[in-house]
Amino acid sequence: MAKLNQIIAVEKGVKSKSHQDLTAAHHGLQKPALLSGIARTYQPKDEEGEQLPPESTRVQLQAEEVLRDTAATLTRLFDVTATKDWANCTAKADVTVDGRVLIAGVPVSYLLFLEKQLTDLNTFIRKLPVLDAAESWVRDPSTDAWKTEPVRTVRTKKVPRNHVKAEATEKHPAQVEVYYEDIPVGYWTTVKFSGALPAQRVNELLQRVEKLQQAVKFAREEANGVEVTDQRVGEAFFGYLFG
């Protein structure tokens, strides 16, 4: 008895072949010359007239035969697909992580859905904002955010000063150069806040989503290993349609 994963493996090939055969049959039936034949003979008006050989063209394509061949090809596709879909109704498995069953008896179709969602979630988690590692962060309950320790910095103000380069004389005034000196006038106390996540938290989430991805994949493989009962629906279908 075949298993579901074996049916899934051959379904693509059967589908491709049936599509090619149906396309070829359709194109063939659109060529009137292949469906047409003729036979004619020539008889001169009198015995002394010119004798011409008979002419004939055989029918190269029989529409009924095309229908039979098409039915045979599509019957295989209908049967394989039916076998897969009937089996999918009963193929189930548990999603288990670290020995714990998270979801029991999950159908194959939902496992495929979970795989797609977990791929998207993996991408989402990898792009989560992470706290700047250059800072030291602590949780602040009052703002529900992360914050740094207060950092005190000096605020300065530029004050002009005069530098006498040359003293005044009877003939020349003093040469004075103006420069600016930074004078402390106060202090800034800065606390940074952030709504990002610690790197450890992001790494934990990544580990969890990857465990889930592996668990769902294992469950799908287990579900696809169920034995299937061959379904025979194509013969009845095409027996009615082309009968």
Tokens of 52: 């011409």
Of the candidates 122, 134, 127, the one whose C-alpha atom is nearest the C-alpha of residue 192 is 134
Handedness of CA 126, 130, 132, 136 (dihedral sign): negative
Residue in the structure block whose two tokens are 């074996």: 6
pTM of the entire structure? Answer: 0.69
pLDDT at 200: 96
pLDDT in tens, 219-243: 999 999 989 999 999 999 999 998 8
Q: Residues 39, 44, 45, 50: what is their CA dihedral angle, to the nearest 10 degrees?
A: 150
pLDDT in tens, 44-53: 888 888 889 9
pLDDT at 164: 78
pLDDT at 161: 86
Q: How far apart, in whole angstroms, are the C-alpha atoms of residue 134 and residue 175?
A: 50
* Percentage of residues in the chain having pLDDT higher than 70: 100
Of the candidates 33, 77, 35, the one whose C-alpha atom is nearest the C-alpha of residue 231 is 77
Average pLDDT of the residues of the chain: 92
pLDDT at 106: 95
Per-domain residue ranges of the chain: 1-32+56-91+225-243, 150-190
pLDDT at 163: 82
Could you tell me the mean pLDDT of each successive run of 10 residues in the chain, 243 residues long?
Answer: 88 93 92 90 87 90 91 94 92 95 94 96 97 94 94 93 79 83 93 96 97 96 92 93 89
